[in-house]
Structure 1
Amino acid sequence: MAQLYYKYGTMNSGKSFEIIKVAHNYEEQGKQVLIYSPTIGARGNSDRVGSRVGFEREAIAVDEDTNMFENVKAQLESKGRIYCVLIDEAQFLKRHHVLELTRIVDELNIPVMAFGLKNDFQNRLFEGSYNLLVQADKIEEIKTICWYCDRKATMVIRFRDGQPVHSGEQIQIGGNEDYKPVCRKCYNKAFQSSGKE
């Protein structure tokens, strides 16, 4: 029985690498998968999933108007059986996308694995994350360690000119120079020492 999985982690927890690994494992057995990536979250090309360790895979770009259920249904009709649907940067999905993912699972009986961040740099849920937490059959944390200590990272600090910031647009694409995965203690300490609680 197919299920909707939401696998979340902070930045640098290996989410995109995990997608590439899962896809490889299916395809090594001759089982076809589909990989999707929201255009807003693309590090470079929106038709690619790229991990920080250098691996890349082709992906189907998802924009705000994409109907993921209809897209998977069309792929199924043209390519034959799809064994799994993988979603990168799932925090950038809209509510309707997540509901479409539930239809892929429930009506097409295809497992869906969505990977993404849970919370933003202000510790607010993204729209996609919120809806996946509500709708997912299984939720799993992909763990990584704090940039500054040995604790598990659960939050992200955004930096501007080397200083932590607590305000700004929710979505700003960046890398290690802009964001660091941190534990709660180091997150709070960064803003206490900068006077920006």
Structure 2
Amino acid sequence: MAQLYYKYGTMNSGKSFEIIKVAHNYEEQGKPVLIFSPSVSARGNIDRVGSRVGFERDAIPVHDKTDLYESVKSFLNPGVQHKQIYCVLIDEAQFLKKHHILELTRVVDELNIPVMAFGLKNDFQNQLFEGSYYLLVQADKIEEIKTICWYCDRKATMVIRFREGQPINAGEQIQVGGNEDYKPVCRRCYNHAFRGGVSND
């Protein structure tokens, strides 16, 4: 039976690489997948999923008004009896809207296609993203993808945003950036940062 999976992790935990790996495993067995990525998340092109280790894959961009259920359904031929799409993969799922998550539940429940959504859970102010909130509510299975803190050897559970080398905890929730703008950290180092303890220099 198909399920909705939410796999979350901080920056640099290998979420996009995991999507590319899962897609490869399915396709090596001749089982087609669909990969979606919110347009706001693009590190370069909006129709690519790219990992920090250098691998890339084509992706279908998701805009605010995209209906993910109808998008997936459009790839299915109702006259064909065998399964046509074996899995739907979502990159940067934290940027999805509530309606996107509800549409993904329909993909699982009505089309019987498993969905794996990968993304951040909390933002640089430790608030849930809209997409992550509704995935936590709706997902059948939730799994953490672990990585280590940038400054120590503890597990990273939070992220710090930097501006001109200094940690900040104010500003717009969505600001796409890389290692120069964000660092994955543990709770202790996160709190230490705002007491003047760490910098991005």
TM-score above 0.5, yes or no: yes
What aligned pairs does 1:13-92 form with structure 2 within 5 A after superposition? 13-77=13-77, 81-92=84-95
Aligned residue in 2 for 1:164: 167
**TM-score, normalization by structure 1:** 0.97
Q: CA RMSD in A?
A: 1.1
Distance in 2, matches of 1:77 and 1:119, equals 38
Residue ranges of structure 1 left out of the alignment (5+ in a row): none
Distance in 2, matches of 1:139 and 1:100, equals 18
Distance in 1, matches of 2:150 and 2:196, equals 17
Q: Which amino acid aligns with 1:8?
A: Y
Identity %: 81
Aligned residue in 2 for 1:135: 138
SS at match of 2:76: helix
Aligned length: 194
1:186 to 156, 179, 189: 189
Aligned residue in 2 for 1:8: 8
**Higher fraction of helix:** 1
Q: Which runs of 4+ in 1 moved over 2 A?
A: 77-80
1:117 to 117, 120, 124: 120
Does residue 147 of structure 1 match 2:147?
no
Does residue 108 of structure 1 match 2:111?
yes
Residue ranges of structure 2 left out of the alignment (5+ in a row): none
Distance in 2, matches of 1:123 and 1:77, equals 43
Distance in 1, matches of 2:76 and 2:93, equals 21
Task: Report the Cα offset of residue 181 of structure 1.
Answer: 0.0
Distance in 2, matches of 1:23 and 1:9, equals 19
